[in-house]
């Protein structure tokens, strides 16, 4: 499965979640201390960490963050952590046991995700949870057609 298709599946899962307002696919450094005005929360950030190619599969590891804005008095910190944990556990559950109508093709979650809370990060305004997931999908390892072969 190509990377774009996998990311589209992740976006689809999160966009169908009633609480999630925005999904970004980017490197983590793009978010650190750099949250843009107008960003909608709760926010999902998907960061590709690595790709391992085996004989017949690709194993991709992603860091996924779910975050929300803290009020200045931090009175909503428990709500933010609770909602973020709920969103990510639902995402993981969907990868393990897809809902009706959701096609994961040959993608399979192969690690046991550990959710880790974070507090007052990304400019001291955000809290939430992060998780690393590793998914495996089929990979056609046939040699690529070269440009010369294509033109013949």
Q: Could you read off the pLDDT of 6-50 as tens digits, one per residue?
A: 999 999 999 999 999 999 999 887 777 666 777 888 999 999 999
Per-residue pLDDT, 148: 54
Tell which residue, 3, 80, 72, 6, has the closest CA to residue 43. 80
Handedness of CA 63, 64, 66, 69 (dihedral sign): positive
Tens digits of residue pLDDT in 89-134:
999 999 998 876 677 878 999 999 999 999 877 766 889 999 999 9
Is residue 141 scored above 90 in pLDDT? no
User: What are the residues whose beta carbons fall under 8 Å from the beta carbon of 94, sequence distance 6 or more?
Assistant: 13, 102
Handedness of CA 108, 114, 119, 121 (dihedral sign): negative
Using only the alpha carbons of the chain, give its radius of gyration: 18
- pLDDT grade, residue 150 (50/70/90)? very low
Is residue 54 scored above 70 in pLDDT? yes
Per-residue pLDDT, 35: 67
Separation CA 141–CA 112 (nearest Å): 27
Separation CA 31–CA 123 (nearest Å): 9
Handedness of CA 13, 85, 95, 58 (dihedral sign): positive
Model pTM score: 0.87
Separation CA 91–CA 14 (nearest Å): 7
């Amino acid at each position: 499965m190509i990377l774009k298709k996998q990311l589209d599946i992740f976006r689809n899962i999160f966009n169908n979640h009633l609480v999630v307002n925005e999904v970004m696919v980017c490197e983590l450094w793009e978010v650190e201390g750099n949250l843009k005005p107008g960003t909608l929360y709760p926010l999902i950030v998907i960061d590709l960490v690595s790709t391992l190619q085996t004989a017949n599969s690709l194993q991709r590891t992603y860091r996924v963050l779910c975050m929300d804005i803290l009020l200045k008095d931090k009175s909503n910190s428990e709500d933010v952590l609770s909602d973020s944990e709920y969103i990510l556990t639902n995402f993981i559950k969907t990868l393990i046991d897809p809902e009706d109508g959701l096609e994961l093709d040959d993608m399979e979650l192969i690690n046991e995700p550990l959710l880790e809370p974070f507090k007052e990060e990304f400019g001291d305004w955000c809290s939430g949870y992060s998780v690393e997931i590793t998914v495996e999908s089929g990979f056609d390892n046939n040699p690529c057609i070269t440009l010369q072969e294509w033109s013949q």
